[in-house]
Structures are given as structure tokens and as C-alpha cells.
């Protein structure tokens, strides 16, 4: 397996003081840890509460703000060699991340990192709503191994 090369699109990070290069390092490290190689494409967007609420209502029929949504595409599907894996998009509500960080007593950047990890695992077909705890256990394990933001 060749290491993942990542075509990353980041929207809204700069206005929250987040470094797109650090987000890319985190994503590439997670893909390597998960055994995902080859060319990959990924989007990470930071949105306002109103947009997140609208997305949550549209895609999950829950009309409230949430912290992170993931919109997977190729996941772990078998692809022809050299074909770029379209991972999908992770959407994070920065205001919600700030509230959760305050509630948990952690730095906001640490909460954002957790949400990025969480969203990326969803793109790789993990689902804490249907599994027996594997996703959240893997998230905790990776949190101790992967780079900080």
C-alpha cells in the first residue's frame, strides 16, 4: 500500500485561527493509521450555527445545531489502482465546538481536533450509532497517537 496523498479543501478554518496544514497532517496520519493509501480527496468546512442547523435538519431530520456532520462518498470501497478516493466532507460548527470545549474544560483546538477525528472516522465507515463501541474506542486510541493541531 502506498501512503495516502491528500487533496484537501478547507473552508472557514482561517477565521477561527486554525491551520489548514495542521488539519492536513492530522488527516494524513489518520488515513495511514487506518491503512488507507493512494490518492485521496477530502473537504473540511467550518460553518456557522444557522448553516449547521439547516444541514442537520436536511440530512438527519433533526432541527438543531450539532457539532460535526460527515458526508461520506467512497469510504473503503475497492477502487481501481491510481483512482483518487473521494472520502467526502466533514462539516464542523465552530461555535458548538467552543461550547463543548468549555463544558469539557478543554482547549477549543483540542475539541476541534476531536471533531475532525470523529468526522474522518465516519467517512471511513465507522458508525457509533450502530456499532458496539468500536468507533469511539478507535477515536480514543487514535487521539493519543496522532498529531495535535
Of 78 and 58, more confident: 58
**Upper half-sphere CA count for residue 113 (Cβ side, 13 Å):** 20
Region 75-95 average pLDDT: 91
Which is the CATH superfamily of the domain at 4-143?
Answer: Metalloproteases ("zincins"), catalytic domain (3.40.390.30)
Looking at residue 76, what is its pLDDT? 86
Domain boundaries, the chain: 4-143
Report the alpha-carbon distance of residue 89 to residue 108 in Å, rounded.
21
Q: What's the rounded mean pLDDT across residues 57-81?
A: 94
The Cα–Cα gap between 32 and 46 comes to 24
Reading the block at residue 102, the C-alpha cell is: 468549555
Beta bridge partners of 46: 92
Q: How confident is the model at residue 120 (pLDDT cuts 50, 70, 90)?
A: very high
Cell of 77: 470501497
53 sits in which H/E element: helix 49-60
Amino acid at each position: 500500500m502506498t501512503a495516502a496523498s491528500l487533496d484537501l479543501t478547507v473552508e472557514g478554518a482561517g477565521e477561527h485561527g486554525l491551520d489548514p496544514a495542521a488539519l492536513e497532517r492530522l488527516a494524513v496520519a489518520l488515513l495511514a493509521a487506518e491503512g488507507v493509501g493512494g490518492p485521496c480527496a477530502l473537504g473540511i468546512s467550518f460553518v456557522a450555527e444557522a448553516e449547521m442547523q439547516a444541514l442537520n435538519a436536511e440530512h438527519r431530520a433533526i432541527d438543531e445545531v450539532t457539532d460535526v456532520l460527515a458526508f461520506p462518498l467512497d469510504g473503503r470501497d475497492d477502487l481501481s489502482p491510481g483512482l483518487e478516493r473521494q472520502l467526502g466532507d466533514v462539516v464542523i460548527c465552530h461555535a458548538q465546538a467552543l461550547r463543548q470545549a468549555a463544558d469539557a474544560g478543554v482547549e477549543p483546538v483540542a475539541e476541534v481536533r476531536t471533531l475532525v477525528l470523529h468526522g474522518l472516522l465516519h467517512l471511513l465507515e465507522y458508525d457509533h450509532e450502530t456499532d458496539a463501541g468500536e468507533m469511539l474506542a478507535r477515536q480514543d486510541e487514535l487521539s493519543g497517537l496522532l498529531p495535535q493541531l
